[in-house]
Structure 1
């Protein structure tokens, strides 16, 4: 079925385009939502007008999404969740939960499909998610998932306290390496000392045996 698109439909067509689509897709989705109209003689005669309207709508949408993007830019979204040992959540933070929180914050409906996350969040902590408001407006927001019994700011301080200074980490690694070297040297010195003591004892025993043999020979000669 051939239709004229009134508005942009991502991945399908732009407003003002004439395109062949499946009849069911046109009748059940595009036409009821006023995204397209059948490509009749009258609609084709108004094609230039529809293209201008689509371009105007495209510009307005970009401006609206840019304004929302500015409000969200640098935003930290706090989400309170119950958690167990090790910070594992009882449940998970999904794109639907994030969309609901953003909608409440902005006072406008946010579609969960514009929230880009590789997978649901299953632990407490700080995370980053991309929000694709428009092909030209993609922003990052911070998502802080904190336990129900801890204030967000206090939880941030806890997270900061758990992070080690890179210089301190390097110092610990260096100290550990030096300690291991010292232990190795001590072991070698200990083994060398033991070997020297053993050799000295062997020499003393050999000398004692030689003296004893000499005395026995002298006694035999005298007798």
Structure 2
């Protein structure tokens, strides 16, 4: 029996795949739990078109992410925090502070979880931070932390 999967099914296939399964498994599990539909000609055409549309959408998202990464590579943000004479900050600069400063300076919204910051920044200086914009696409944001008395 041919079945088009509507969601990922372990050991069977992923969403949108057209799989050949035993009749009982298809009727009694996949169709009843709405995890799949019968793979007739009409449904197969619809599924193939949906797969093409998904691949185009993913390619567009990736292109947008690459463009955003290039913009981030060229962007420099200044953050001013209270600091001592030796250049140590009284507080710290976190990924949340970075995303807020980025949005205020350029209008670009980035999720704070996408900023790869191992430890909060505690010193004055110039730091390069990696920002994930998409799976496998990373932009490098330059941050200048300045101290004020």
Q: Into which bin does the TM-score normalised by the smaller protein fall? A: 0.5 to 0.7
Q: TM-score, normalization: structure 1?
A: 0.46
Please give the secondary structure, in 2, of the residue aligned with 1:122.
strand
Match of 2:130 in 1: 130
Match of 1:144 in 2: 144
Q: For the aligned residues, what is the CA RMSD?
A: 2.9
Contact 1:16 1:47 in 2 (8 A): yes
Instruction: Looking at secondary structure, tell me which structure has more strand per residue.
Output: 2
Contact 1:129 1:140 in 2 (8 A): yes
Instruction: Looking at secondary structure, tell me which structure has more helix per residue.
Output: 1
Per the TM alignment, residue 16 of structure 1 is displaced from its structure 2 partner at its CA by 4.4
Per the TM alignment, residue 133 of structure 1 is displaced from its structure 2 partner at its CA by 1.1
Q: 1:42 to 1:103 in 2, by over 3 A?
A: farther
Q: 1:55 to 1:122 in 2, by over 3 A?
A: same
Q: TM-score, normalization: structure 2?
A: 0.66
Contact 2:73 2:142 in 1 (8 A): no
Aligned length: 121
Match of 2:22 in 1: none
Return the alpha-carbon distance in structure 2 between the equivalents of residues 147 and 43 of structure 1: 65
Match of 1:113 in 2: 113
Return the alpha-carbon distance in structure 2 between the equivalents of residues 88 and 77 of structure 1: 19
Structure 1 stretches lacking a partner, 5+ long: 6-13, 19-37, 150-223
Per the TM alignment, residue 4 of structure 1 is displaced from its structure 2 partner at its CA by 2.5
Higher relative contact order (CA 8 A, sep 6+): 2
Contact 2:6 2:37 in 1 (8 A): no
Q: What pairs with 1:1-223 in structure 2 (closer than 5 Å)?
A: 4=7, 16=16, 39-41=35-37, 45=43, 46-148=46-148
Please give the secondary structure, in 2, of the residue aligned with 1:84.
coil
Larger Rg belongs to: 1
Per the TM alignment, residue 104 of structure 1 is displaced from its structure 2 partner at its CA by 2.7
